[in-house]
């Protein structure tokens, strides 16, 4: 343990160094030349009126025209990103209507959909995986169906879900369910089928009941593999819900990204993307800890 601590510290320092380099490159890449103020008189009357109608400053428009730059701000600077982060974190749960909700509230919608679809997938996949892993005949019978359905993109199910369910929220939950089932099902079946025969023979010799054998022999032995499947499923579910919410709209962090893009607010888009990444990392870390807790050394 003591030998691992210096390595962890070194890895953290290298990560901070890489982050510093990325931020420095970002800062240098978004440096902009100072804009000299140009009087609005350099514009025609029609241009001044149009600028006022669009809510723009005629003076800045004249400066852009004089320097040959467009009115767009380009890629956001670090200061703009900091301002966007402070603005979003200052009031993350506000609700001003359908198209104006805080990033925290949108995140809760997404996590709720993921949690519900994921739990439903676990309720189906883990027991079915036990049955498939313990019965070679059922495994061979269901394997062709699993191999056909597994590669289908989860978003390919969205049109069918919207047509049959006719509700965007439930359709999103169904997409999470269908994409989460396969890794859990396959890993559970593999873990159950890989339990050492010696342990099963001992349980058979002791005349252990099937239910007790499943919970006290097979489940502890297959738990690391099952949690690997659950970890993979969570990563896929979190990835898919963002894309699904972009398609169906309404609420969720994916819809927040798309709505901010439509509003041409690139700092908010990048901030939301970073939030998605951080939440995904935290979810993965939680499952990694669970997986480590149930993994035993030979």
Residues near 89 by Cβ (< 8 Å), separated by ≥ 6?
A: none
> Does 125 have pLDDT greater than 70?
yes
In a domain, 163, yes or no: yes
273: left (phi over 0), alpha (psi -120 to 50) or beta: alpha
3-state secondary structure of 101: strand
Cα torsion 283, 285, 288, 294: sign: negative
Please report which confidence band the pLDDT of residue 137 belongs to, taking 50, 70 and 90 as the band edges. Answer: very high
CB atoms under 10 Å from CB of 188, counted, come to 29
Exposure on the CB side of residue 198, measured as CA atoms within 13 A: 0
- 162-188: average pLDDT: 90
Residues 177 and 282 in one domain: yes
> Any bridge partners for residue 95, and if so which?
101
- 93-111: average pLDDT: 87
Residues 190 and 283 in one domain: yes
- 13-20: average pLDDT: 91
Number of compact structural domains in the chain:
2
Residues 54 and 141 in one domain: no
Residues 140 and 204 in one domain: yes
In angstroms, the Cα distances linking 4 to 9, 11, 12, 232, 281 are 9, 11, 12, 27, 22
Q: What is the mean pLDDT of the chain?
A: 83
Please report which confidence band the pLDDT of residue 264 belongs to, taking 50, 70 and 90 as the band edges. Answer: confident
Is residue 35 within 8 A of residue 67, CB to CB? The reply is yes
> Does 162 have pLDDT greater than 50?
yes
How many angstroms separate the CA atoms of 118 and 265, rounded? 32
What is the pLDDT at residue 121? 95
The tens digit of pLDDT for each residue in 22-61 reads 989 988 888 866 544 445 455 566 666 665 665 555 555 5
In a domain, 4, yes or no: no
Residues 151 and 289 in one domain: yes
Q: Which residue has the higher pLDDT, 168 or 109?
A: 109
The two tokens of residue 133 are 């892993």
In a domain, 39, yes or no: yes
What is the pLDDT at residue 52? 60
Residues 202 and 62 in one domain: no
Structural domain of residue 235, as residue ranges?
Answer: 103-294
Residues 57 and 149 in one domain: no
Residues 56 and 159 in one domain: no
> Does 69 have pLDDT greater than 60?
no
DSSP 231-245: HHHHHHHHHHHHHHH
> Does 65 have pLDDT greater than 60?
no
Residues 42 and 113 in one domain: no
DSSP 126-147: HHHHHHHHH-HHHHHHHHHHHH
- 186-215: average pLDDT: 82
What is the pLDDT at residue 6? 76
Residues 60 and 128 in one domain: no
In a domain, 79, yes or no: no
Residues 133 and 233 in one domain: yes
In a domain, 11, yes or no: no
What is the pLDDT at residue 96? 84
Give me the CATH number covering residue 290. Answer: 1.10.3720.10
In a domain, 95, yes or no: no
The tens digit of pLDDT for each residue in 205-247 reads 777 777 888 787 888 888 899 999 999 999 999 999 888 888 8
Residues 230 and 164 in one domain: yes
Is residue 43 within 8 A of residue 65, CB to CB? The reply is yes
- 95-109: average pLDDT: 87
What is the pLDDT at residue 68? 41
Residues near 43 by Cβ (< 8 Å), separated by ≥ 6?
A: 51, 58, 61, 62, 65
Please report which confidence band the pLDDT of residue 114 belongs to, taking 50, 70 and 90 as the band edges. Answer: very high
């Amino acid at each position: 343990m003591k030998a691992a601590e210096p390595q962890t510290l070194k890895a953290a320092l290298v990560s901070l160094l890489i982050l510093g380099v990325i931020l420095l490159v970002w800062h240098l890449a978004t440096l902009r030349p100072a804009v000299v103020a140009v009087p609005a008189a350099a514009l025609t009357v029609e241009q001044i009126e149009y600028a006022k109608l669009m809510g723009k400053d005629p003076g800045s428009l004249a400066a852009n025209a004089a320097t040959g730059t467009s009115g767009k701000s380009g890629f956001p600077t670090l200061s703009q990103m900091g301002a966007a982060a402070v603005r979003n974190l200052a009031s993350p749960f506000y609700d001003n209507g359908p198209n104006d909700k805080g990033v925290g509230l949108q995140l809760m919608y997404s996590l709720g959909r993921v949690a519900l679809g994921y739990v439903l997938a676990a309720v189906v996949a883990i027991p079915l995986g036990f049955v498939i892993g313990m019965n070679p005949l059922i495994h061979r019978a269901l394997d062709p169906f699993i191999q056909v359905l597994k590669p289908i993109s989860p978003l390919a199910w969205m049109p069918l879900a919207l047509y049959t369910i006719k509700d965007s929220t439930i359709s999103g939950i169904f997409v999470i369910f269908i994409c989460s089932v396969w890794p859990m099902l396959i890993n559970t079946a593999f873990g159950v089928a890989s339990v050492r025969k010696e342990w099963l023979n001992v349980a058979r010799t002791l005349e252990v009941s099937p239910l007790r054998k499943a919970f006290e022999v097979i489940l502890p032995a297959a738990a690391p593999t099952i949690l690997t499947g659950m970890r993979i499923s969570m990563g896929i579910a979190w990835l898919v819900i963002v894309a699904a919410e972009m398609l169906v709209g309404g609420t969720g962090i994916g819809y927040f990204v798309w709505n901010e893009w439509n509003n041409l607010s690139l700092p908010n888009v990048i901030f939301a993307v970073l939030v998605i990444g951080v939440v995904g990392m935290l979810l993965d870390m939680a499952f990694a800890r669970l997986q480590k807790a149930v993994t035993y050394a030979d």
